[in-house]
Amino acid sequence: MAHHNHHLIFVLSSLVVIALVALQGTHAVQYDVTNEAVGTPGGTIFDNQIGIEYSRQTLESGSAFIWQIFGQSNEADRKNVQRISMFVRPVDGVASTSGDQIQVSANYIARFSGDVKREITGVLYHELTHVWQWDGTPGPRTPGSLIEGIADYVRLKANYPAPGWVQAGAGNSWDERSDVTAHFLDYCNSLRAGFVAELNSKMRTGYNANYFVELLGKTAEQLFSDYKAMYAS
Q: Round to whole Å and give the CA distance between 99 and 131.
A: 6
Q: Round to whole Å and give the CA distance between 121 and 216.
A: 32
Q: 36 — phi, psi (to 5°)?
A: -95, 10
Per-residue confidence band for 2, with pLDDT thresholds at 50, 70 and 90: low
Domain assignment of residue 216, yes or no: yes
Percentage of the chain modeled with pLDDT above 70:
88
For residue 21, is pLDDT > 80?
no
| Structure confidence at residue 233 (pLDDT) | 83
Q: Specify whether 180 is located in the same domain as 199.
A: yes
For residue 181, is pLDDT > 80?
yes
Domain assignment of residue 12, yes or no: no
pLDDT tens digits, one per residue of 56-86: 999 999 999 999 999 999 999 999 999 999 9
How does the average pLDDT of the chain come out, rounded? Answer: 92
Q: Specify whether 128 is located in the same domain as 159.
A: no
Worst-scoring range by mean pLDDT, 20-29, 46-55, 96-105, 183-192?
20-29
- How many domains are there within the chain? 2
Percentage of the chain modeled with pLDDT above 90:
88
Task: Provide the domain limits for residue 56.
Answer: 27-132
| Structure confidence at residue 23 (pLDDT) | 52
Q: Specify whether 197 is located in the same domain as 128.
A: no
| Structure confidence at residue 122 (pLDDT) | 98
CATH number at 98 reads 1.10.390.10
- Rounded average pLDDT over 78-101: 97
Q: pTM (2 decimals)? A: 0.88
Domain boundary among 132, 157, 174: 132
